[in-house]
Amino acid sequence: MNDEYIYLKEKTLRRYIAQNERKLYGKEYEFGAAIILKNFYQLEKGLDCVIGFKINPKYRNLYVNRIESISDEEVKTLLEKHTLENDPVDIGISPSIKLANNRSIVWPFQLKRFGHYQNEKDTKGLIKFFSKIRDKYSKSSIVLAIFFDGHKGIDLEEVWNKIKLQDFPFKRIMFINTDKNPDGIWKFHIGELWPNYGYNEYDINDLVKTVVSL
């Protein structure tokens, strides 16, 4: 695995959320998106995955090679004090084992939340949102994942047609959305805006699994 990251299992992160949910101050959406993306990649790649957080290099030796033994108190310190701040990468998803030829793979993500804090929560607002992002970041191989939270009707095909993404700083733009089917059952939609447009529908239990033994 990439040594810029310290990796946590899903149940470890869930336990931290459960123990500290009143003090997360908006970070819960980021952790929730991390769990969703981890399970999405497990389904897509057919590999067990873990969630990586960029570690401040001076603290790395405290945690390296300890994915199984890291304590709850250490997880709290890691996530609240020892990760890199203001880094383009919020989380990385990685297979829990090295693949052929000793390759270490990590899929890096910048996570954004749309709808909760924006005044304009519709298609026009999302187009403006992307314009601001384009001006803020440098070109990279990072994937931008947008978590839709409280939006008021977005036509994603219209967004795809209207924004000029060829010069966008991120390698891909993905989105995560929840919606009710006509039968009233909640579903997750995970899709892509760039370089292509499309999405798949998932049962919530496939992506937000209940971990009984925390």
State the pLDDT confidence band at 100, using cuts at 50, 70 and 90. low
Q: Per the structure block, which two tokens stand in for 208?
A: 């937000």
Task: Give the C-alpha separation, 202 to 186, whole Å.
Answer: 9
Question: Which residue range is the domain that position 55 belongs to?
Answer: 5-102
* Number of independent structural domains in the chain: 2
Judge if 126 and 47 occupy the same domain: no
Let me know: does 59 contact 82? Beta carbons within 8 Å: yes
Q: What is the pLDDT of residue 120?
A: 84
Q: Is residue 79 part of a domain?
A: yes
Q: Is residue 214 part of a domain?
A: no
Q: What is the pLDDT of residue 134?
A: 83
Mean pLDDT along residues 167-188: 82
Is pLDDT above 90 for 108? Answer: yes
Judge if 46 and 134 occupy the same domain: no
Let me know: does 170 contact 137? Beta carbons within 8 Å: yes
Judge if 124 and 187 occupy the same domain: yes
Q: Which of 74, 102, 130 is the last residue of a domain?
A: 102
Judge if 22 and 46 occupy the same domain: yes
Judge if 28 and 50 occupy the same domain: yes
Q: What is the pLDDT of residue 211?
A: 42
Q: What is the 8-class DSSP label of residue 186?
A: E
Q: Is residue 212 part of a domain?
A: no
Q: Which of 86, 102, 118 is the last residue of a domain?
A: 102
Q: What is the pLDDT of residue 74?
A: 92
Q: Is residue 213 part of a domain?
A: no
Q: Is residue 92 part of a domain?
A: yes
| Listed ranges 132-136, 173-177, 200-204; the one with the highest mean pLDDT | 173-177
Mean pLDDT (the chain) is 85
Distance from first CA to last CA of the chain, Å, rounded? Answer: 24
Please report, as a single letter, which amino acid is at residue 189: H
Judge if 194 and 123 occupy the same domain: yes
Share of the chain above pLDDT 90, in %: 38
Judge if 36 and 116 occupy the same domain: no
Let me know: does 204 contact 188? Beta carbons within 8 Å: yes
Judge if 134 and 60 occupy the same domain: no
Judge if 165 and 115 occupy the same domain: yes
Task: Give the C-alpha separation, 174 to 37, whole Å.
Answer: 10
Q: Which of 68, 102, 136 is the last residue of a domain?
A: 102
**CB contact set of 17 (below 8 Å; sequence gap of 6+):** 24, 28, 31
Judge if 79 and 133 occupy the same domain: no
